[in-house]
Amino acid sequence: MRFFGCLFGYLLALVATAALLYRVRPDDDDFKAAFAQASRCNVLIVGPSYIKVGLRPEVFDAEAKALGHPLHVCSLARSALRGYEVMYDLKHLLEHRWPALRYVAVDVSLPPGNLGFDRDNWFSPRVVQWHTWGALTWIYRFYREQGLRWKELRPLAVAHLQHAGMNYLGVGRIGRLLTQARLIERLTGSERGQDAPKEIERIGARTKLVRPTEAEHDAAVRRLAERKARAKAQKRQGDDDWPRQLEPLIRTRKREPVFLYSPVYDNLPPPRLKRARKPALVFLDFDDPESYPTLYDYAVRGHTAHLNAKGAVLYSKLLAAEFVRLDSR
């Protein structure tokens, strides 16, 4: 009996500790940066690296002010942000108090057909934290729509369940709390070691990401312009399922949802904007060399489909102009 009593006490303590740790969630630097601007943020933009690289808040704010309609922008931008992680991040962001917020814009340039659950990223804190019970039901529907066979799905299902278990049991959260508190560095005097991961990330980005040649760039822009022109002539519309899933998360917080494509090289037909008995989607399509030719000048392009510093200034000004137009209606 003593064994079962000890076992019961251990399990009870485990559940209580897990519940406490699940609620004590340390926000990473991306969330902290966004929340620091919450008191005066009018436009919150959520998106992948296209926003991280391409948005200059100080340029956006200055351009809005120059246009006679001051707006303050802030963002949550994370590399390869897609799939359910977008939903998780939106929910977490909008649980915070945003007294001046009017618009929540989501960059949906990355295809929704890719969940972003790459094996190299398994069990990282960022991937673990979005594995909630709600995520598991969404993931099940996602894989069912992909038509995966059970043989292919089984290892993925096990991995997702492991991630959810780690999340709710708080595995690794104490270490993360200590890391963010920098307790170990303060005790050992090795605070400078915190810069190493950033340096490794910077070097990796420099060596792996390649800027296309001017000839490759020109050919990609021509193909994109031709495909866009055909889509416009045929009045072809893209699938609106993904924006429609995200829209209620924003509207329930009494904010205006806006969706956008960044200026990439992909043929991304804008989603269907109107549906019966649903609000029309507000969509900004910067993935269009005809409408935004300055964003497709080779001089403003960076690695892969990203902008460089000059391009980021241009993009930030154009974003500001579009939101001034929206807010002036």
Query: What is the predicted pLDDT for the residue at 203?
Result: 32
Question: Does the structure show a pLDDT above 50 at 12?
Answer: no
pLDDT band at 318 (very low <50, low <70, confident <90, very high): very high
Query: What is the predicted pLDDT for the residue at 24?
Result: 44
Read off the pLDDT of each residue in 225-249 and give the average, rounded to a whole number: 90
pTM, to two decimals: 0.81
Query: What is the predicted pLDDT for the residue at 27?
Result: 55
**How many residues would you count in the chain?**
329
Q: Is 80 left (phi over 0), alpha (psi -120 to 50) or beta?
A: left
How high does pLDDT run on average in the chain? 82
pLDDT band at 153 (very low <50, low <70, confident <90, very high): confident
Of 259, 309, 305, nearest to 280 by C-alpha is 259
Question: Does the structure show a pLDDT above 70 at 324?
Answer: yes
- Within 8 A by CB and 6+ apart from 79, the residues are 48, 49, 52
Q: At what angle do helices 241-251 and 84-94 cross, to 10 degrees?
A: 10
Query: What is the predicted pLDDT for the residue at 291?
Result: 93
pLDDT digits (tens, 9 = 90+) for 36-84: 999 999 999 999 999 999 999 999 999 999 999 999 999 999 999 999 9
Query: What is the predicted pLDDT for the residue at 25?
Result: 53
Tokens of 210: 């390649």
Helix (H, G, I), strand (E, B) or coil at 168: helix
Read off the pLDDT of each residue in 104-116 and give the average, rounded to a whole number: 87
The residues spanned by each domain of the chain are 2-327
